[in-house]
Structure 1
Amino acid sequence: MAKSDPLYTVLKLAKEAEEQAALRLKAAQFEHQKRANQLQSLQDYRLDYMRQLSAQQGQQIRADYYQQFHRFVQQVDGAITQQLAVVADARQQQQYRQQHWMEKQQKRKAVELLLEKKAQQQQQRENKQEQKMIDEFASQQFFRKKSG
């Protein structure tokens, strides 16, 4: 099949769109992972801070220190809540990018399939033409021998 077929241009554009979608997906995956790691760091930080308080159990703790500690834990909890939302948004963006990439991949595959079918049809036409020429040549040979 001739490379001048407009479907080759469509295929080229479909491949480029798929590549761009793949790059965007990779960026979204990276972003989600980064946000999830930040969340994990906050949760680990909170856990460490709570362990510090547990280690001081049984000891006398000043009321102002305990209040300060409690306020700080509330701030960390607020940051965790915000980060949970950020992670959820990043996850949603990643899923959207995944779907978008899959759609672009399907489109490219459909164009490739169409080109493959066209190539097969062209090959069949060429095979029929060749067989017709062979049959015609054989029949001419047969009549020549018969008449000669």
Structure 2
Amino acid sequence: MATDPLFTVLKLAQDAEEQAALKLKAAQLECQRRQSQLQSLNSYRLDYMQQLSAQQGKQIRADYYQQFHRFIRQVDDAIRQQAAVVQDADKQRQYRQQYWMETQQKRKAVELLLEKKAAARAVKQAKQEQKMTDEFAAQQFYRQRLNSSS
């Protein structure tokens, strides 16, 4: 019996699913990396704000205070930009996850088809075996009848 072409389709579906899983993993790692960078920026900002709080009650030069606020605005801008980068990375991760789930679903559909074909073959084979058994039993019955009537 020739190899079922569905096995080739299954192999292709498995390869596509594997590639999709690798791309999903890369997107997850990139998303985590960018999220970590955002957390670092937020932590950096918090540290500087705590330094300013520690200066309360002490005399601070006006130019130092202005410079500090200018720096905090720059950090805030960097945080907003990084938050947008994180959002883009998360969208990419979601897209990759959806694609991986679709490839997984396709693979499972091909596997189900192969299972159904195998089950149908097993039923057909069982019927053929039963038919052969019935024919053998009938032949034996007729032989015994012929032998007993002679």
Q: TM-score range by the shorter chain?
A: over 0.9
Q: Equivalents in 1 of 2:123, 2:46: separation in Å?
A: 71
SS at match of 1:59: coil
Q: Number of paired residues?
A: 147
Cα offset for 1:114?
0.2
Equivalences for 1:126-137 in 2 at 5 Å? 126-137=125-136
Q: Equivalents in 1 of 2:69, 2:124: separation in Å?
A: 82
TM-score, normalized by length of structure 2? 0.97
Aligned to 2:112: 113
Aligned to 2:102: 103
Q: Equivalents in 1 of 2:84, 2:32: separation in Å?
A: 14
- Superposed structure 1 runs of 4+ greater than 3 Å apart: none
Q: Equivalents in 2 of 1:67, 1:96: separation in Å?
A: 44
**Cα gap change, 1:3 to 1:22, in 2 (>3 Å):** farther
Aligned to 1:45: 44
Aligned to 1:140: 139
1:48-76: CA deviations, max 9, x gaps? 00000000000000000000000000000
Q: Equivalents in 1 of 2:105, 2:2: separation in Å?
A: 22
TM-score, normalized by length of structure 1? 0.98
Letter of the 2:34 partner, please give it: R
Task: Structure 2 unaligned segments of length 5 or more: list them.
Answer: none
Aligned to 1:123: 122
SS at match of 1:98: helix
Aligned to 1:4: 3
Letter of the 2:15 partner, please give it: E
**Cα gap change, 1:45 to 1:121, in 2 (>3 Å):** same
Task: Structure 1 unaligned segments of length 5 or more: list them.
Answer: none
Aligned to 1:65: 64
Letter of the 2:17 partner, please give it: E
Q: Equivalents in 1 of 2:2, 2:49: separation in Å?
A: 68
Cα offset for 1:36?
0.2
Q: Equivalents in 1 of 2:51, 2:9: separation in Å?
A: 63
Q: Equivalents in 2 of 1:15, 1:3: separation in Å?
A: 21
Cα offset for 1:3?
6.6
Letter of the 2:32 partner, please give it: Q
Aligned to 1:54: 53
